[in-house]
Each structure stands twice: as C-alpha cells, then as structure tokens.
Amino acid sequence: MRKKKLRLGDIYLITLPNGKFAFGRLFKESTLAIYKGTYDNASELPVSEEYAFILGVYTDLLHDGKWEIVGNRPFLSDDDAWPPPKCIKHVFNGKYSLYIKGEITPSSEEVCKDLERVAAWDRHHVVDRIMGDNKWNPE
C-alpha cells in the first residue's frame, strides 16, 4: 500500500469508544492538536482552533486510514504550523530541556512544569486521554 502524503492542517476524525467523535489537526513533526470537546456527529467539525491538548503521535497512525481525514485548515504561515514548545526530562540526570521547532535547549523544571512532554503517543493512548483517562501522565 502506498503511503498517503501528509498535509499540514489535515483534520483527522477520531472515533471514540462511547460512540462520539473527536478531531485532531496535523502540525509539523507528526503532532496532532486535539480539538476541545467531543461530538455526536462525525460531520460536526469544530468551528474554531481551540485545542484541549497538543501531542506527538506515531507517524503510521496518520497514514493507516483508521483516522479518516475529513478536512484541511491551512496554517496562516509556515511558522504557525510548528507545535508549541515541549519539555524533555532527562531520565539519567533529571535535568530539563525545551524542544522548540526541532531544537533542544537547556531549561528548568519551573519553565517545563506546564508544558507537554516530548513523546510519540500511540492510538489507544490518544483515545484514552481524550476520554479523560490520565494514566499516561508521567507526574
């Protein structure tokens, strides 16, 4: 099977186990911004760019067709397509770094405390988080 070319701004439909739907918008670096709220109808696209959370996902999830692409909302600029800064907590020394636009710079716990951690989430983890299950939170 030929991989479908990913387009920044693609809107993915995420079917939830309760019969509802969520939507995610593709940013650079296989990052999905999950829109706030869940929807009863798959055609109820969110009307504004308000996100519940933004996280990295495994790229194959974006290619395999299980999450259907139902629209595209282009970014105003190339710079807008970058996900917000993320945090890295180094396992061996406990130090913190920021990950911004593909670059890693030293940081602190204080700066990182409210940032998403750098990670690649699998499909069931994303669905769990949308459903309110925070067992994947490293804190």
pLDDT of residue 91: 87
Q: 67 falls in which pLDDT band (50, 70, 90)? A: very high
Residue 133 is predicted with a pLDDT of 73
pTM of the model: 0.89
Dump the DSSP string for 36-97.
SS-BSSTT---SS--EEEEEEE-THHHHSSSSEEEEE---SSTGGGSPPPEEEE-TTT--EE
Q: What is the pLDDT of residue 111?
A: 93
**Per-residue confidence at 6, pLDDT binned at 50, 70, 90?**
confident
pLDDT value at 70 more than 60:
yes
Is pLDDT above 60 for 136?
Answer: no
| 28 pLDDT more than 80 | yes
Q: Is the pLDDT score of 109 beyond 80?
A: yes
Separation between Cα atoms, residue 35 and residue 111, nearest integer Å: 25
DSSP string covering 5-45, please? PP-TTEEEEEE-TTS-EEEEEEETTTEEEEESS-BSSTT--
